Structure 1
Amino acid sequence: MDDILLSDRNIDLRSETTYQDHLLSSVWSLVKAAHENSSYYQQIWKGIWDAGSASWDDFFKLKPADKSLLENNNVSIKRNNIAYYFLTGDTTEKPKVIPVTKKEWRDRNEYRANCYRLANITKFDSVWIALPFGPWAAGHSSQHAFHILESNVLPAGLSNDQYVMRYIWNQAKQMNINVIATTPSILKFIESSIEEDSLIPIEKVIISGDRVSDELRGYYKDKYNIDLLASYGSSECFVGMECQYQCGYHFDPNQILVEVVEPQNYLPTELEGSILLTNLTSEAIPLIRYKVGDRGKVHYQKCRCGSDWPRLQWTGRDSDYYEISGGVNLHTYQVEQALDRLKLKIQKCDVVIKDDNGGKDLIEFTVFFNEKDVSTQRQKKLLTKEIIQAIRTLSLDFNDVMFEGYANVAIIIQAMNKDAPPQEKKVEIRDLRKFRSSGV
């Protein structure tokens, strides 16, 4: 394809009429099927739905979907057509379930494989997948995509035990593994687990789950001559992949419709804005103008790598989050929701993420209460137990991190002076690690 041109709607509206019609037709076919079969979309589009709608301007008027789409019984197809069920990475007390049909799963993995080709992954590569498997999609989808490319695959996952990680590493070397698919925090844990050994046999690391800072890229490039290439996506939708020039996430506009919109009115902007995704191949639960909580902008100029796919530049989060060891994201809102479940009202909470021994993270929760509520050691002890139970409800995968020991957690109870001014933010998170893995 030629360069994809950008209209003032920041969407792929090329000059060729046949391509415009094809994309618009695909979008509205998905939209109309979703409205017909999903009570969720019927509800959120109530009052703005017009059966005769068929234009881009009509599409931009549709209210975006959010994660509540995944909390309810919003399946749009017969359940006997569902092949897999996965959980989202930030599933809290309300399970967010992602059903997938066989066709969706095949389409997703073939698209992911095409994205890996942009990172020059071939059948001559051998890949260690150091990602969670279980009920999350990342490890399983990566394995299928690498198999499509005919790469050799070691689907060993990960362990919080450094002895086990050293054993996997020794097996990986015997298999001539030259690529690792993982997250930034897991990569750090692998590096600390192999001790005096070197990562130099590794040529590339395919990063999932978080952005890669220039500092982190420089560290692994200078020390081991490893290229870190990041993918972008989530359990709900895999979006795209960096090429060797690391100038944004390439995505196929025939698979994924990426909008960058004003967060107030959800209308398209040519500037940086909130990201909405429409997965044109979704079936079981259609993702239409889906809010992922990220900010960015789209570049449509042809890339130096030769690909004419557009590139999504990630610029930040609409809300703060931090990736911790175990490949889990910690969101500010999750901490707020968890602490709201305490019997006593907190005054504030300071969360500090630090480097700990053995390549793990230490997460310190310093929770402030009224002086009268924490005046005795017994009160503090009971509150500490209650806080630990509350923190376990941050998300299912954060509970796994605590239970399996991928990260260490410390609780500190403090008294807030009664004369202290009101706190603007109830929860603040600071990342003091050498290589930050935050999304901000």
Structure 2
Amino acid sequence: METLSRPEMEALQLERLQETAEKVYKHVNFYKQKFEELGVTPKDIKSLDDISKLPFTIKGDLRDNYPFGLFAVSQDEIVRLHASSGTSGKPTVVGYTRNDIDNWAEVVARAVVSAGGRKGDIFHNTYGYGLFTGGIGVHYGVEKLGAAVVPISGGNTERQVMLIDDFKPRGISGTPSYIMTVAEKMKDMGINPRETSIEYGIFGAEPWSEEMRHRLEETFDLKAVDIYGLSEIIGPGVSIECHEAQDGLHIQEDHFYVEVIDPKTLEAVAEGEEGELVITSLTKEAFPVIRYRTGDIASITREKCKCGRTTTRMSRIKGRTDDMIILRGVNVFPSEIERVLLQVEDLVPNYQIHRLQKGTMESVELHVEITNELYNEISGDLVHPKIQKLSKEIVKAISSNCLVSMGVIFNKPNTLPKSEGKAIRIIDLREKKVLVEA
């Protein structure tokens, strides 16, 4: 499946798209109504281009049909339920049949191989278990491959370090921010992260930059690859980078059809152009989704990869449409600021962006954390001339690379909150209540 020719893949996708359209039209009232509003039926899907005739699905539709209104099978066929955290009201609920679980395990097993995994590995899985799809999704895929999972989830970082030291895993997974926290704990315990057994890491669940990749690889002496997925579609495993090229995430196209649209006009953008990812599931039985607007910003390319896979690749997620900051007319994503900060040796890879309201003007403060080495060198003096010089350098770098200016607030080591899951990067103090995950 990963090396099909383009005509073969598109023929398979069309067949599965037609089957999915027929399924939702017959079994999901929400989609039947949407199809009828647009004057379209499943028989109108004669080519992949005809997907543009079908309705979009948004997260609000999932909440409006909470909990099981979008399911396409009867309850006795459901073997698993997952849900989002529900921080904005009712959670989004997704269901899986036995076949869905098997397909999910298959795409994640492919993903682990893409990252450099193999049968017989020990794999340290720090993704959270429970209603969140990350932990269990990766778990089943690793087992499908024939490797041994350490289902440790997040938190209790000292215990994580002990098990890595004792069990000698080849692979590790988690959010980049948390894995860097694990590295810091290793150093505190007198363990050099570069001397562990870990050879490859599968990182995701939050946008991260190429600079973070370099930091992870340098810190652990491993290959770091980006994995992408979302619970509304299936969970982790929608796409992943290969360790050979690390140049775009290979989409599991036999299971998912991906479009990129302009989020304002809703029209398709050209190949290679950034826009909002829209994903249609092609094999889901319990919870098929048509043209789901993910809110994630990326681009796609169909150029063949040097690893030999022929599947379409998507770029790393630049950010989300709902975490983009518009500051004096300039669009800025946290990942762009991260890219700048990780080039500064005297900072640890932990930061927060505070959004403030001063009169009628919005402003932004960038809170960063200095290294222990710098803190000791300046004897804890956060107004030291070296700090002032560093501040000017950061302000200039952000202005040059992100085209915005913002104040920089320096913090002592280990004072900014560290997340055991997705890092909290944006603190919205305009209403003093809204937290946005990275």
TM-score by length of 2: 0.70
Separation of aligned partners in 2, 1:268 and 1:145: 32
Same amino acid, percent of matched pairs: 22
Partner of 2:177 in structure 1? 185
Partner of 2:163 in structure 1? 171
Once the two structures are superposed, residues 373-405 of structure 1 have per-residue CA deviations (whole angstroms, 9 ceiling, x without a partner) of xxxxxxxxxxxxxxxxxxxxxxxxxxxx99999
Separation of aligned partners in 2, 1:292 and 1:412: 22
Letter in 2 for 1:43: Q
Structure 1 residue 313, shift from structure 2 partner: 1.3
Choose which of 22, 27, 42 in structure 1 pairs with 2:32: 42
Once the two structures are superposed, residues 325-370 of structure 1 have per-residue CA deviations (whole angstroms, 9 ceiling, x without a partner) of xxxxx999xx99xxxxxxxxx9979676654999xxxxxxxxxxxx
Structure 1 residue 50, shift from structure 2 partner: 2.6
Choose which of 45, 52, 55 in structure 2 pairs with 1:54: 45
Ranges in structure 1 where 5+ consecutive residues have no aligned partner: 6-13, 325-329, 337-345, 359-400, 414-424, 432-436
Assess, with a 3 A threshold, how the Cα gap between structure 1 residues 356 and 428 changes in structure 2: closer, same or farther: farther
Taking CA–CA contacts closer than 8 Å with sequence separation of 6 or more, which of the two structures ends up with the larger relative contact order?
1
> Are 2:316 and 1:320 aligned?
no
Partner of 2:105 in structure 1? 109
Letter in 1 for 2:240: M
Assess, with a 3 A threshold, how the Cα gap between structure 1 residues 152 and 259 changes in structure 2: closer, same or farther: same
Assess, with a 3 A threshold, how the Cα gap between structure 1 residues 241 and 171 changes in structure 2: closer, same or farther: same
Ranges in structure 2 where 5+ consecutive residues have no aligned partner: 325-333, 339-351, 373-416
Structure 1 residue 122, shift from structure 2 partner: 0.5
Q: CA RMSD in A?
A: 4.0
Q: 3-state DSSP class of the match of 1:46?
A: helix
Assess, with a 3 A threshold, how the Cα gap between structure 1 residues 427 and 270 changes in structure 2: closer, same or farther: farther
Alignment of 1:26-105 (within 5 A): 26-51=16-41, 52-56=43-47, 57-71=49-63, 72=65, 73-88=69-84, 91-105=87-101
Letter in 2 for 1:103: N
Are the equivalent residues in 1 in contact too, given 2:248–2:316 (CA < 8 A)? yes
Q: 3-state DSSP class of the match of 1:282?
A: coil
Separation of aligned partners in 2, 1:82 and 1:188: 37
Partner of 1:243 in structure 2? 242
Letter in 1 for 2:254: N
Separation of aligned partners in 1, 2:422 and 2:226: 22
Separation of aligned partners in 1, 2:79 and 2:146: 23
Separation of aligned partners in 1, 2:213 and 2:423: 23
Structure 1 residue 293, shift from structure 2 partner: 0.5
Assess, with a 3 A threshold, how the Cα gap between structure 1 residues 223 and 426 changes in structure 2: closer, same or farther: same
Partner of 2:288 in structure 1? 286
Separation of aligned partners in 1, 2:420 and 2:138: 23
Partner of 2:260 in structure 1? 260
TM-score by length of 1: 0.69
Separation of aligned partners in 2, 1:405 and 1:107: 25
Separation of aligned partners in 2, 1:111 and 1:79: 25
Assess, with a 3 A threshold, how the Cα gap between structure 1 residues 156 and 350 changes in structure 2: closer, same or farther: same
Q: Which shifted more, 19-28 or 74-83?
A: 19-28
Letter in 2 for 1:252: Q
Q: How many residues align?
A: 352
